[in-house]
Amino acid sequence: MRIVKGVCPKCGREHIRSSPVPLTIVCPCYKICPICGEEMKPFKPDMNPKTYNITGEQEWTSKTLYYCPNHEPPYYSDLKPVEVLLT
Ligand SMILES: [Zn+2]
Ligand SMILES: [Zn+2]
């Protein structure tokens, strides 16, 4: 079995797998809170951002995927999963 590896352009973490062919994986760094380093929770809005935005303040957007409840207010992340090509 061949070893393939690649470095995530976002967090710099090196990923190594054993695979006979080049491989694309998703780096889990998009789930990590940049403030406290904990893994964030999946964010499932039960409201439409437009209806939530009554005060003119919008803490999260429809792009928000994860949030960290360890902060007040919670940290809302719209980081996208980063694909890393391992060759
Ligand atoms: Zn990463
Ligand atoms: Zn956090």
pTM: 0.69
Closest by Cα among 63, 11, 14 to 32? 11
Cα–ligand 2 centroid distance for 64 (angstroms): 15
Cα 32 to ligand 2 centre (Å): 8
Q: Ligand 2 center to residue 40 CA distance, Å?
A: 7
What is the per-residue pLDDT for 48? 55
Calculate how far, in angstroms, residue 35's C-alpha sits from the geometric centre of ligand 2. 5
**Domain extent for 22:** 3-86
Contact 25, 4 (CB under 8 A): no
pLDDT tens for residues 7-64? 999 999 999 999 999 999 999 999 999 999 999 999 876 655 554 555 555 566 667 8
Q: How far apart are CA 85 and CA 13, in angstroms?
A: 12
Dist. CA 13 → ligand 1 center (Å): 6
For the four alpha carbons of 30, 34, 39 and 44, in that order, the dihedral sign comes to: negative
- pLDDT given for residue 56 in this prediction: 55
Q: How many domains does the chain have?
A: 1
Report pLDDT for 63.
77
- Amino acid sitting at position 23: L
For residue 26, the model assigns a pLDDT of 94
